[in-house]
Chains A and B, each alone.
Chain A
Amino acid sequence: MILDHKQGHLDSVRSFLSTALYPVQYVVNVPVELAGTVNDAISMHSSLLDENDRLREERLMLNSRLQRYEVLEAENHRLRNLFESSLKLKERVLIAELMAVDLEPFKHQIRINKGKKEGAYDGQPILDATGIMGQIIHVSPFYSDVLLITDPNHSIPVEINRNGLRAIAVGTGQKNVLQLEHLPSNADIKQGDLIVSSGLGHRFPAGYPVGTVRNITLDPAEPFAKIMVIPSARLQSSREVLLVWPHEKARLRYSNMKDFAFYNAR
């Protein structure tokens, strides 16, 4: 039976049973949502006004920044057209909410309130406002389970934003720590480097932040450097997450130049 599940033949059983269990989870979730509603209802008028002001300012700032980005995006499109590489379409996204349901404490998993009904699928990337969180591993009709990038069974293809050096970020099983694997000791990487998803493997969309390098340990006895990365997504505290439908045909974004940089670094 367990082997069967490894091949994924029992997913239909799982989703059937999950529908039966949904009421239990719903009931558990209700007090938490209720507390949120009550909190909203009794929060002070003045604090709401304050928040409103703050959000308006923030929106203005973001909008102005967005304008700049739009110009850049258009320019990027043009340049890519010149390079004759297929272009990146805008991804479709959907906001999902975390369900207040505790899963097993030894796996880094969360449960979100969007499922097959909304079109979620196995392996779908999940982001929050600050970076990549993980991917869906089980889809049920009303909810899905997300494996976080810090789970020891999870790894994600990444690149260093500064020079395009490619690597694989593997979860360590500790909260808020990732590790870059198989980077040689002389690789061009520094503390504070931003790590973004590379889009290789066609699962995660390219160019979203994954984390920043915290420290690099060089052990002469080891062939590879030990590189710790702090995830940029707030894995423990995000309440809203984004489901992303990446463009079907991931584009080939590695020009020869990048490969050259990679080999140079070695």
Chain B
Amino acid sequence: MLDEKPRGRLIIATSFVVAFMLTAMPLPEWALTWRPFWVAMVLIYWCMALPNRIGPGTAWFLGLLIDVLQGTLLGMNALGFALIAYLVQKSYQRLRVYPLTQQSMVVGFFLAVYLLLSLWIRGISDDPKITWNYWMPMITSMLLWPWLFIVLRDMRRKFHVS
């Protein structure tokens, strides 16, 4: 199993590209603060499914790309994503057997840790006026997690990504 050639690199890359596009997609004004963390969610899924392929290194690079895409401080999201990947790698065996609702709770917790870390960095680096809206993406991400999980799992099974 382990010496099998890694497959489905293209599928993983495509899922991340789609996540990036969803992150950059223009939304109406009221929905801006509700945008789920697409890239972080896809990252959590692949970390959980293939912990030996997707880990903090990949996460760090993806975070850098998000920083560039969104114009935030370079390295802020990189650090947060690497932390998420680390947490998922520590707990993927438990995560896999959880029911979907409990999984989305844990995903929400990971995102909360990530948000807290970036809130901290924002506090040090500059002083934007952060409101309660800041935490909203966490809720939308939690609500969307089961669907994303099913879609990605079916995709992984269909294309035999391992």
On A, residues with C-beta under 8 Å from B are 1-2, 5-6, 10, 13-14, 17-18, 20-21, 24-25, 27-28, 32, 100-107, 109, 111, 137-138, 145, 151-153, 172-174, 236
Contact = CB atoms under 8 A, between A and B. Distances in A.
Contacts of B156: none
B74 A104 contact: no
Contacts of B68: 14, 17-18, 21
A24 B121 contact: no
8 contacts: A2-B74, A28-B25, A109-B71, A152-B126, A153-B126, A153-B128, A172-B129, A173-B128
Nearest to B134: A106
Contacts of B65: 17, 20-21
A173 B68 CA distance: 22
Interface string B118-157: 0001101111111001100000000000000000000000
B71 A24 contact: no
Contacts of A20: 65
Given A107-B128, A153-B127, A24 B24 contact: yes
A107 B67 CA distance: 13
A17 B66 CA distance: 10
A28 B18 CA distance: 10
A102 B25 contact: yes
B71 A138 contact: yes
B65 to A, nearest CB: 6
B75 A5 contact: yes
A6 B73 CA distance: 8
Contacts of A106: 122, 128-130, 134
Given A28-B24, A102-B25, A104-B70, A152 B127 contact: yes
A5 B26 contact: no
B116 to A, nearest CB: 15
- For the complex of A and B, list the 7 residue pairs with the smallest distance between their C-beta atoms, beginning with the closest: A173-B129, A105-B32, A1-B75, A104-B70, A17-B68, A100-B26, A145-B71
Contacts of A32: 26
A104 B72 CA distance: 7
A142 B154 CA distance: 37
B74 A5 contact: yes
A103 B73 contact: no
A103 B29 CA distance: 12
B25 to A, nearest CB: 5
B86 interface: no
Contacts of A100: 26
B21 A28 contact: yes
Interface string B15-54: 0010011011111010011010000000000000000000
B69 interface: yes
Nearest to A175: B29
B128 A2 contact: no
A145 B73 CA distance: 13
